[in-house]
Amino acid sequence: MVILRGVTYRIEEIDDLSMPGILQMSAKENFANKVENDVENDITNAWNMIPVIPEGQNEFGIIGPDVVKPLFTAEFEAIVSGGTWYIEENEGRRATLLPVEIIDDVSERVIHIKWNNPKSGSYTLCYRLPDGVFYKRHIIVESLF
């Protein structure tokens, strides 16, 4: 073991034959975490499992608040242009299922949305591109009622 600038390293190998008068060594940072490290097989974070997240469309394609207030207008923006906005729960229905409406399209990428009910709820805002790629963002409507 060797300590350089306050960090402990474990020496893996030493080469004192290549260059006379110079000692070369290969070192690896030493973590003394006996719970997560498998010392016998030299594996760090062996028991730290990363959760498997299913791949799909993410919520990062739509920029805006996660929580909105009822009867107030909220602004949302897509990271790309050329798509169409819609509310997933109301899509393809004659009567709207949820009391949320798209007020206006400020530009191709920016819209204003309003929840037209004083009570709380939630909806899924979607942005579909012509090539079939779409982005979703789940919005929570927070109220005192």
Number of domains in the chain: 2
Query: What is the extent of the structural domain holding 10?
Result: 1-50
Paired tokens of 25: 């060594």
The pLDDT value recorded for residue 145 is 64
Closest among 103, 97, 52, 58 to 80, alpha carbons compared: 58
pLDDT reading at 1 higher than 70: no
* Alpha-carbon span 39 to 32, nearest angstrom: 9
Residues 68 and 125 occupy one common structural domain: yes
pTM of the model: 0.57
Residues 22 and 87 occupy one common structural domain: no
Q: Which helix (H) or strand (E) holds 12?
A: strand 7-15
Residues 75 and 131 occupy one common structural domain: yes
Residues 14 and 82 occupy one common structural domain: no
Give the neighbor-by-neighbor strand order of the sheet with 2-4.
Answer: 2-4, 7-15, 24-29
CATH number at residue 108: 2.60.40.1080
Residues 18 and 76 occupy one common structural domain: no
Helix, strand, coil share of the chain (percent; to 5): 5, 45, 55
